[in-house]
Structure 1
Amino acid sequence: MRVLVTVASRHGGTREIGARVAERLRARGHDAEVLDPESVDSIDAYDAVVIGSAVYSAHWMPSAREFAQRFAAELLTRPVWLFSSGLATAPAAAANSPAETLALIKAIDANGHRAFGGQLDRGVLNFAERAIIAAARGKEGDHRDMSAVDEWADQIADQLGQQTTTA
């Protein structure tokens, strides 16, 4: 199957998660492409979509939300998965699972949402971002669990494989 992995990422950490998902899907026989949400003009060429976003101030980035809204009707016609990546060091922390994702899952009939820990490098942040991080007591470092990303991507590949064999 041809899979679009579209990721909104400000500093690259979340995009690396999306790239890892695409890599795992390709290793399992799917044709996966990673694109920024704002660069996608059409999803007609894709059989499935994975949408990811970094989480800032408990919200998805605007480009990811706008992508889902722009293609809502088309997303209803294909399998879709969502993921978030944020500062919370516990992957299932509420801060990495914005309330808006529940509404989005329902609106586009997504197969689910997975929250992953993020990556924090204060050196790449601007002054306002550093102030927010200080107030939130964000912990410096890479809190992404790439083995969890791999497992999740493999689950997606398995589900896509089942859909291919039943189609």
Structure 2
Amino acid sequence: MRVLVTAASRHGGTAEIGSRVAAELIARGHEVEVVDPAQVKTLDGFNAVVLGSAVYTGHWLPAAREFASTFAADLAKRPVWLFSSGLATAPAAAANSPAETRAVMTAVGARGHRAFGGRLDHEVLNLAERAIIAAARGRDGDHRDMAAVEEWAGQISGELARTAIPA
């Protein structure tokens, strides 16, 4: 199965989640390409897509939203999974599952959405981001559960194995 993994990431933490998903899918026998959503030109040749985004101020990043909008018709023709990464201290909170993900899920027929905690390093944030994180009382540190990411990727792989999908 040929899978595109694409994740919008501001400071690299969400991209690393996407890379971990890709590595697990590769380990389970899938051919995977990891591409930034802004760089994707076509979905031709991909059997499935995993799309993710960091969540800032309760929203996916523009690159992920634009990807979903631009490729909605093509995404609806293949299995799609979504993931979000945000507010490092609240991995399952509604803040990591913005309302727009429900709209994207419906538009592309996504098979699921998973929210993960994020990585927070105040040193790499700009002034506006620091203010937002201070108001949300975000704690520095890597709060991503990579074992949960790998488990989720394994579930995706299992579902792909049970699905006959034309390229």
TM range (shorter): over 0.9
Residue 150 of structure 2 is matched in structure 1 by 150
Helix, strand or coil at the partner of 1:132: helix
For the 8 Å contact 1:3–1:49, the answer to whether it is kept is yes
- Return the offset for 1:123: 0.6
1:111-132 C-alpha deviation (Å, 9 max, x unpaired): 0100000000001111111111
Tell me the distance in 2 between the aligned counterparts of 1:104 and 1:20: 23
For the 8 Å contact 1:88–1:95, the answer to whether it is kept is no
Residue 68 of structure 1 is matched in structure 2 by 68
Helix, strand or coil at the partner of 2:32: strand
Is there any run of 5+ residues in structure 1 with no aligned partner, and where?
A: none
Aligned-residue RMSD, C-alpha: 1.0
1:117-150 C-alpha deviation (Å, 9 max, x unpaired): 0000001111111111111111111110000001
Q: Which amino acid aligns with 1:151?
A: E
- Return the offset for 1:164: 4.0
Tell me the distance in 2 between the aligned counterparts of 1:84 and 1:28: 23
Q: Which amino acid aligns with 1:44?
A: D
TM-score normalised to structure 1 length: 0.96
- Return the offset for 1:88: 4.3
Helix, strand or coil at the partner of 1:163: coil
TM-score normalised to structure 2 length: 0.96
Q: Which amino acid aligns with 2:36?
A: D
Helix, strand or coil at the partner of 2:162: helix
- Return the offset for 1:90: 3.0
Give the number of equivalent residue pairs.
165
**How does 1:15-94 map onto structure 2 within 5 Å?**
15-94=15-94
Tell me the distance in 1 between the aligned counterparts of 2:159 and 2:19: 19
Query: Is 1:10 aligned to residue 10 of structure 2?
Result: yes
Tell me the distance in 1 between the aligned counterparts of 2:51 and 2:76: 13
Q: Which amino acid aligns with 2:141?
A: G
